[in-house]
Structure 1
Amino acid sequence: MSGNRTDFTAGYLSSAVAILLYGSNFVPLKKYDTGDGMFLQWVLCAAIWLVALVVNLILRCPKFWPFAMLGGCIWATGNIAVVPIIKTIGLGLGILIWGSFNTLTGWASSRFGWFGMDVEEVSNPMLNYFGAGLSVVRSAAITTFTFSLKGHTWWVLFGVWDLLGFFITLVICVQVINTAEDTCANSSWVDRLSAKYHRIVGCSLAVVSGILYGSTFVPIIYIKDHSKRNESVYAGASQFDLDYVFAHSSGIFLTSTVYFVAYCIAMRNRPNLYPEAILPGFLSGVLWAIATCCWFIANHSLSAVISFPIITAGPGLIAALWGIFIFKEIQGLRNYLLLLLAFCIILSGALCTAFSKI
C-alpha cells in the first residue's frame, strides 16, 4: 500500500510539473519573430533530442527499441495539418477539435485496450468516465475564452508549437500547385476550396491530427504490455516508461529533420532563418522535453488512462494565467469569469480522474 501511495504521489507531482511546463514553454518565444517557423521547429526538436540524450545517459542507456520511435513520428506527423486547419476553421475551433480527440484517443486507447494494448482497469470506472468527459468539456470552455492581444490572440502563443510544424504543408503546396510567383495566401490549395468544403476539410484534418496526438504513446505502451508475453519479440522489455524517452524523441527529431529538408527543397534552398530566436527556441524545447519526461513518469506511476485526461487539460489554463499576471493581456470581468469556469471544470475533471484510480 505504501508503494502504491508513493507511485501515486510521484505520478501526480509529475503531472503537475508537466502541466506547468507545457503551459509555459512558449513564453520565451513570445517577443521574437519566428518567421514561418520551420527552422525554429527544427531547433526545438534538436533541444528535445538533447534533453532525451542526457536522460538516456543518466538511465545508463537502456535498450533502444526502434518501434518506440514510431510515437515521435506520429506526433510530428500530426503537426503537419495545422496550417490548413487554421486557414479553414480557425485556431480556436481547431484546438477544440484536435484537443478533444487528443484527450479521448489517449484515454480510450488505454482504457479499452485499442491498438493491441492491454485494457487498463480502474477502481471506479464511472468516476473515470466522468473525469475524462469533463476534460473534453474543458476544451469548449477554454475555446470560448478568447481575448484581444493588441492585434494578436493568446492562442497564437499557446499554439506556436503547432504552427511551427505546419508551414511545411503550405509551402510544399505552393511550390507544387503554383506556377507563378504568387503569395501563399493566394495560391494555397486551401484557398481554392469552396466555402462548403472549408469546414469539412478543416474539421476532418483536426480530427485526424487529434487522433495522431493521442496515439503518440501507443507504441511504448504496446511494447510494455507485450514485454510480459514470452512469445513476443518485446519479451523482457522495460516497464519503466522513461526508458523509452530517447527513442521517442529520436523519432520526433528524425521526422522534423525530414520535414525541414523538404521545406528547404520547397524553398529552393532559401529557408527563412531567424538567428535571434535560436536560444529562446532552444529553451522552449528544453522545457517541452522536461514536461514530456514528467508525462512519461506519470504514465508509469498512474497509467495513461489517468494521466492523459489530467495533463491534456491543464496547460491552456497555465497559458491563460501567464496572460493575466505577466503579460496583462487578459482583462475584463467576462474573461475572468470564463477563466474561473474553465478552472473549475479542469479541477473537477482532474480530481474525478485521480480518485478513480484509488
Structure 2
Amino acid sequence: MSAVIGLAACAVSSVFFGSMFVPIKSYDSRDGIFAQWMMSIAILLVGFIVFATTGFPGFYPLAMLGGASWCIGNATAIPIISRLGLAVSILVWNTSNCLVGWAGGRFGLFGMKAQVPASPFLNYLGLVFVVIGGSIFAQVRSEPLPIAKKTSRTSFDLENLNSEEKKALNTTESSDDGGLETEVLRPDKNLNSGTQRFFAFITAIVAGFFYGMTFVPVIRMIDNPQLYPFYPQDGISYVFSHYFGIFITSTIIFVIYSIFRRNQPYAPPNLFLPGMAAGCLWAVAQTSFFVANQHLSQTVTFPIISQMPGCIAAAWSIFYYREIRGKKNFILLGAAMSITITGATLVGLSKNIKF
C-alpha cells in the first residue's frame, strides 16, 4: 500500500511540475525575477495550509536551506525557457537534478543514509535509461515563439523601462480611441542563436544541481535522529519550513534586483496572477514529492519525478505552444520519451522487486 501511495504521489508531482510554467509562459516575464517572487508568495500560502492541516508540527530552520537551494536554481528558469523552450529546458535541468538526487540517496552523500533498493540492477538499469533519454531530449530542436502582444499600457508601464530597454524594444502607438496602446516586442537580441542556447544549456545543468539539493537538509534530519532528537520522521512536517526558505530567498533576490535596477524592477501587473498560479502548481507538486519520498525513497522518486515532468512539458510544447516541429524532432522526442518512461518504470519496480 505504501508503494501505491508513493507512486500515486509521483504521478501528481510529475503532472504539476510539468505544467507549472504554463500560466506564465504566454507573458513577457523578461528576467523572471518578479514572476519568481509572485510564485514564492503562493508557495508560502500553500505551505501554511499544509502546516495548519498537519497540526502545526513545528518550524525547522535547517529545512529552509533546501528551499533556498531550489530558489537559486529557479531564478534562472525563465531565461532558460525563453532560449531553449519549455520542454527542452525542463528535460535538461531535470536530468542533472535526477543524477544529483539519485546519487545523494543511493550512496548516502551530504550526511544522508544510503538507500539500497531491493534490486540494484533494475535501479542502475533504469537510471541508465533515464540518462540516455535525457541526452536525446537535449538534441530536440525547440523554437520558442516570440511574445508580441498588443496590450493597453499606462505611462507607469513605460516608465518601468530604462533607456536601454526603450531603445532595444520596438514600440508602436495607435490612437483609435484617443488612448495609448503600445505593442511591446522582445529585444532585438536573438535568444535562439547558438551561443545563447549553449549558455542556456550549461545554466540548465547548473540549475539542476541546485534543484537536486533541495531535499538534502530534510532527509539529513530524518536520517540522523541522534543528531536531531525529537524531530519528525515524516517529510510533510518540514514543508512549511522548506517553503518559508523559498519565500525569504526569493524576497532577498528581488530586493537586490530592485536595487540593481535603481528601484525600477520589471514588474508588470499582468504577471501577478500567472505567477501565483505557477507557484500553487509547484507547491502542490513539491508537497506530493515529500509524500513520495516518505513512502518510497529518494533513490526511487528522483529518477521518476525528475524525468516524467519533461514528458508532460513536451506535450504542452507540441500540442499547445507548437514549439517543437519537424519530423526529425518528433522522432527524437518520441524515442526519448519512450526510453525515459521505461527507465522511470524500472526505477519504480526496483523498490520492491528483486532481480
User: Shorter-chain TM-score: which interval?
Assistant: 0.7 to 0.9
Structure 1 position 324, deviation (Å): 2.9
Structure 2 match to 1:311: 305
Residue 45, structure 1, aligned to residue 45, structure 2: no
Query: Which blocks of at least 5 consecutive residues in structure 1 are unaligned?
Result: 1-5, 153-180, 187-196
Work out whether residues 134 and 345 of structure 1, in 8 Å CA contact, stay in contact via their aligned partners in 2. yes
Deviates more, 1:21-30 or 1:310-319: 21-30
Distance of 1:338 and 1:250 partners within structure 2: 40
Instruction: Return closer, same or farther for 1:185/1:307 CA change in 2, 3 Å cut-off.
Output: farther
Structure number with greater Rg is 2
Residue 356, structure 1, aligned to residue 324, structure 2: no
Deviates more, 1:207-216 or 1:244-253: 207-216
Structure 2 match to 1:215: 213
| Residue 238 of structure 1, aligned match among 216, 232, 241 | 232
CA offsets, 1:139-177, max 9 Å, x none?
21212222334458xxxxxxxxxxxxxxxxxxxxxxxxx
Instruction: Return closer, same or farther for 1:82/1:134 CA change in 2, 3 Å cut-off.
Output: same
CA offsets, 1:207-253, max 9 Å, x none?
543322211100000000112x2xx2x11211111111111100011
Query: Which blocks of at least 5 consecutive residues in structure 2 are unaligned?
Result: 148-162, 169-194
Distance of 1:207 and 1:43 partners within structure 2: 24
Residue 123, structure 1, aligned to residue 121, structure 2: no
Give 3-state SS (helix, strand or coil) of 2:223's partner. Answer: helix
Aligned length: 311
Work out whether residues 122 and 346 of structure 2, in 8 Å CA contact, stay in contact via their aligned partners in 1. yes
TM-score (norm: length of structure 2): 0.79
Amino acid at match of 1:302: L
Distance of 1:339 and 1:261 partners within structure 2: 40
Structure 2 match to 1:60: 55
| Residue 302 of structure 1, aligned match among 296, 306, 321 | 296
Structure 1 match to 2:30: 35
TM-score (norm: length of structure 1): 0.78
Work out whether residues 90 and 310 of structure 2, in 8 Å CA contact, stay in contact via their aligned partners in 1. no
Instruction: Return closer, same or farther for 1:347/1:205 CA change in 2, 3 Å cut-off.
Output: closer
| Residue 2 of structure 2, aligned match among 1, 7, 11 | 7
Structure 1 position 134, deviation (Å): 1.8
Instruction: Return closer, same or farther for 1:268/1:348 CA change in 2, 3 Å cut-off.
Output: same
Q: Give me the identity figure in percent.
A: 41
Distance of 1:201 and 1:286 partners within structure 2: 29
Distance of 2:274 and 2:210 partners within structure 1: 27
Deviates more, 1:34-43 or 1:255-264: 34-43
Distance of 1:272 and 1:132 partners within structure 2: 41
Distance of 1:60 and 1:38 partners within structure 2: 33
Structure 1 match to 2:129: 134
Distance of 1:16 and 1:36 partners within structure 2: 30
Distance of 1:78 and 1:206 partners within structure 2: 8
| Residue 270 of structure 2, aligned match among 270, 276, 300 | 276
Structure 1 position 326, deviation (Å): 3.2
Q: Identify the structure with the greater helix proportion.
A: 1
Residue 339, structure 1, aligned to residue 337, structure 2: no
